Structure 1
Amino acid sequence: MIALIQRVNQAAIHVENRTVSEIEHGMLALIGIEKTDTWANAEKLANKLLSYRLFADHEDKMNLNIVQSGGELLLVSQFTLAANTQKGNRPGFDPAMPPQEAEAFFARFCAHTQSLYEHVSTGEFGANMQVSLVNDGPVTFWLQT
């Protein structure tokens, strides 16, 4: 699994002019699911998202995770993260998990993450989402399990 995470002051997901989710201080995590991913990958990524230290402590060092900082987490499925971009000028999506399978996998991943931390919101799987955010820092990391 792949996660592109950004520390944000705010983030929101809109679908067809309606707000699906929005958060204030926290983390936006764009999630890519590959066909080779297992549930062990998902559990590892959920734990990593909640324990990754990207928030500042009282000395302005990145020593706090999202739970310690009291932040919110916004999970958004993004199959393009699983693209093969090695050849040519057009991405190939063969590495991505097929949509029907990925939808169930992502739903289970979100439910699991929500069982570990109450301040978790999600986008809308398969929708044409408009994602807005204010990246704090900017702070952006690529995580892969």
Structure 2
Amino acid sequence: MKVLLQRVTSARVDIDGAPAGQIGQGLLLLLGVERDDTVRDARQLAARIAGYRVFSDADDKMNLSVKDINGGCLVVSQFTLAADTQSGRRPSFSSAAPPTQAEPLYELFVSELRAGGIEVATGSFGADMAVTLTNDGPVTFLLTSTGKT
């Protein structure tokens, strides 16, 4: 499981021109689910993100999490993060989980963040979405499940 995490001052996702989800200060999380991902991966990654310290404290050090600042998370499914881009000029999606496997893990990931007391907005799994964001910093990290690269 991979998450491209972006610290934002605001983010929103539109579907067919209509707003589907939006947040103010917080994290935009683009989530890619791979074939070998499990419930454990979704839970572990959600817990890690809830406590990931990417917001500045009074000393301008990254010591605060999204929970610490009462920020929100906008979670957007993005199967292209699971692409194999190691060779050639076209990505391979053979490592991406099929929708029947990926959607329940996406939903679990969202539920775990909410259970941790974080306000979560989402797009719609598998939809064609337009994402708008104001990257803060910019601060962007790629996080993966434990043991994966």
TM-score clears 0.5: yes
Q: Taking every aligned residue pair, what percent have the same amino acid on both sides?
A: 45
Give yes or no for the alignment of 1:9 onto 2:17: no
SS of 1:132 mapped into structure 2 = strand
Unaligned runs of 5+ in 2: none
Q: Which shifted more, 110-119 or 123-132?
A: 110-119
SS of 2:68 mapped into structure 1 = helix
What's the offset of the Cα at 1:65?
0.4
Indicate the residue corresponding to 1:128 in structure 2: 128
Over 3 Å off, 4+ runs: none
Q: Structure 2: which amino acid aligns with 1:112? A: E
Q: Structure 2: which amino acid aligns with 1:100? A: T
What's the offset of the Cα at 1:54?
0.2
TM-score (ref. length: structure 2): 0.94
Indicate the residue corresponding to 2:82 in structure 1: 82
SS of 1:44 mapped into structure 2 = helix
Indicate the residue corresponding to 1:64 in structure 2: 64
CA deviations 1:103-130 (Å, max 9, x no partner) are 1221122122211124111111010000
Indicate the residue corresponding to 2:43 in structure 1: 43
| 1:88-107 paired onto structure 2 within 5 Å | 88-107=88-107
SS of 1:87 mapped into structure 2 = coil
Counting matched residue pairs gives: 145
SS of 1:69 mapped into structure 2 = coil
Unaligned runs of 5+ in 1: none
Give yes or no for the alignment of 1:20 onto 2:20: yes
Structure with more helix by fraction? 1
Indicate the residue corresponding to 1:114 in structure 2: 114
Distance 2:88 2:76 in 1: 27
Q: Which shifted more, 111-120 or 91-100?
A: 111-120
SS of 1:29 mapped into structure 2 = strand
